[in-house]
Amino acid sequence: MQIGFNLPNSGPMAEPETMARVARLGEELGFHYLTLTDHIALPDTSVPGYPYSESGAFYSPDPGRRFEMLTAAAWVAAKTERIRLVLAVLVVPHRPAVLAAKMLGTLDVLSGGRLTVGIGAGWLRAEFDAVVTTPFAERGAVTDEYVDAFRRLWTEDKPHIAGRYVRYDGLVMEPRPVQRPHPPIWVGGESGPSMRRAARVGDAWYPIGSNNAHLLDTLPRLEAGIAKLRRLTEAAGRDPERIGVAYRVKRHGHEAPPASDGHRRLFTNGVANVIADIKALRALGVTAIDFDFEGRDAEKSMADMRRFRAEVMDRI
């Protein structure tokens, strides 16, 4: 199982030297990957609306202050040597398909084949209205067509694409990504359409457990979600064993009451439960888990990473 951490490209810790220090520390401590998130412009974040917390507020402070994901990922790649770079997740409709495919391919080459492309359709309408040229209501269809275009642009010599949202004919796009056939695609999202997308094109399904509309915050709920993914994968004509599951944890180790299904929430109530949950998820077939160490104080966050290495990673 791979263990990752979120590298804050937003909030008080989103400073060039801080990001470099945290990224290099993660590499030194033996984390397998780091993640970066994707927003371009946010509305007033004091107004609740974030779907992945009970309060509707972002977990990280000052979320509207952030670096653009792909630019930041390229910069972090230059500051590190081994650690993988996971996009968590690329809001696919944010960038035109051909441009995004070129940027992602470039990032994979420049990083020496360390890119994992986490993808999602997005959820924030106000941001879409400011950034995206395709309709918000069509974001799922746009995402599907763009991702199919990525795969063709990365693997075919002179692809001919005549879709509703993407048109491309006979042009050359080199260099191709280092990874063959292309960088791994982790499909984010917990809804039915997101899971069907993961079953159809994903190298892994990449949910967050705390989505209030589709909770996967307890072991039985996650187990049921993985079983559903396996059924959808078979229905899509693919081998379920070839699709991984990467699980994103926004908070861990904190005290929390039972979830609404009566079971303990995953990764709550102490270090011993965090260790037990990692082992339980590994038994379910989860292939990667990433944790969040964000905050206002970089020194505290880095101390938390060192403690996690000693208290958790060294004991699993």
The two beta strands, 115-120 and 84-87, are parallel
Give the tokens for residue 93: 């409709």
Do 195 and 214 form a contact (C-beta atoms < 8 A)?
Answer: no
Q: How high is the pLDDT of residue 294? A: 84
- Please identify every stretch of the chain with a pLDDT value under 70, giving residue numbers as ranges: 45-49, 57, 59
Instruction: Measure the CA–CA gap between 66 and 69, rounded to whole angstroms.
Output: 9
Q: At 130, which helix (H) or strand (E)?
A: helix 125-131
Identity (one letter) of the amino acid at 148?
D
Q: How high is the pLDDT of residue 47? A: 56
Instruction: Measure the CA–CA gap between 39 and 42, rounded to whole angstroms.
Output: 7
Do 222 and 195 form a contact (C-beta atoms < 8 A)?
Answer: no
pTM beyond 0.85, yes or no: yes
Q: How high is the pLDDT of residue 45? A: 64
Segments of 39-197 assigned E as strands = 84-87, 90-91, 115-120, 160-162, 167-169, 185-188
The 10 Å Cβ neighbour count of residue 30 is 12
Q: Which residues pair with 4 in a beta bridge?
A: 33, 290
Instruction: Measure the CA–CA gap between 300 and 281, rounded to whole angstroms.
Output: 28
Q: How high is the pLDDT of residue 46? A: 62
Q: How high is the pLDDT of residue 51? A: 77
Closest CA to 218 of 125, 281, 162, 275: 281
